[in-house]
Amino acid sequence: MAKEDKRIDILRAASRVFYLRGFEGTKIDDIAKEAGIGKGTVYEYYHSKQELFDKAVSYNREQYIEQVKATLSQDGTLRDKFIAFAKYQTELVKTHIPIFNMMCTSKIIAREMGALMLEQNIRVAEILTGLVKKAVDQGELREDINPEMAAAVMIGTINQYSSKKVIFFDAQPEDIDYEQMADIIFKGIG
């Protein structure tokens, strides 16, 4: 228990620091201090910096995917689900899970992390693609659309507009007009 709790404590501390400074920019000592423990103690729980990083990525990814699934499995139309997902994704970026940035800050991204990032993005896209197909079947969307592309429009728009507003302009998640975002995606800009 206490042992496992501490493992998680260290993982979360590591996540915070990796998030802020990236893999290379993070010193084990930083993580130890963030967790309020000694440097050597980190190594009692994780064998290497790399392992700690990988575990932190996995941990946050799991958390993320679970939340996405929960968000998208709520009742309602695809429009409702989209708005819920957009809100969640925006909150996420603002507040807590550092997964996106963590993936962008390691020198090894070009090798191992590419697959991880892909997998996660693919899984979310797949879930959304499935929902799009169902919505087509139920007549909520027009029949001639490419579901995969439709899912890309949704995810892409959120990442481009919503997340960036929050990250770069310090906007609050509640300031985003999700209804308008849904309108423009569902009705088109033309």
Least separation in angstroms between residue 110's CB and DNA is 15
- Taking CB under 8 A as the binding criterion, the range among 1-9, 35-43, 58-66, 152-160 that sits at the site for a second copy is 152-160
Query: CB burial class (10 A; 0-12, 13-18, 19+) of residue 159?
Result: middle
Say how many C-beta atoms besides its own lie within 10 A of residue 8's C-beta. 11
Distance, CA of 57 to CA of 4 (rounded, Å): 18
Q: Does the protein bind a second copy through residue 112 (CB under 8 A)?
A: no
| 87, 178 Cβ separation under 8 angstroms | yes
8 binds DNA (CB under 7 A): no
User: How many residues contact a second copy, by CB under 8 A?
Assistant: 54
Residue 99 interacting entry, from a second copy, DNA, none, C-beta within 5 to 8 Å by type: none
> Residue 39 interacts with DNA (CB under 7 A)?
yes
47 lines the binding site for DNA (CB under 7 A): yes
28 contributes a contact to DNA by CB under 7 A: yes
Q: Is the Cβ–Cβ distance between 178 and 157 less than 8 Å? A: no
CB-side neighbour CA atoms (13 Å) of 57:
25
CA distance to 3, 58, 186, per residue, from 30 (Å): 21, 20, 46
Q: Report the residue from 8, 29, 70, 80 that binds DNA according to the rule CB under 7 A.
A: 29
Q: Of 41-49, 67-75, 88-96, 109-117, which segment contacts a second copy by CB under 8 A?
A: 109-117
Among 11, 13, 150, 166, contact with a second copy (rule: CB under 8 A): 150
Q: Would you count residue 41 as binding DNA (CB under 7 A)? A: yes
74 phi and psi angles, rounded to 5 deg: -70, 155
Binding site residues, DNA, CB under 7 A: 3, 6, 26-29, 32, 37-41, 43-45, 47-50
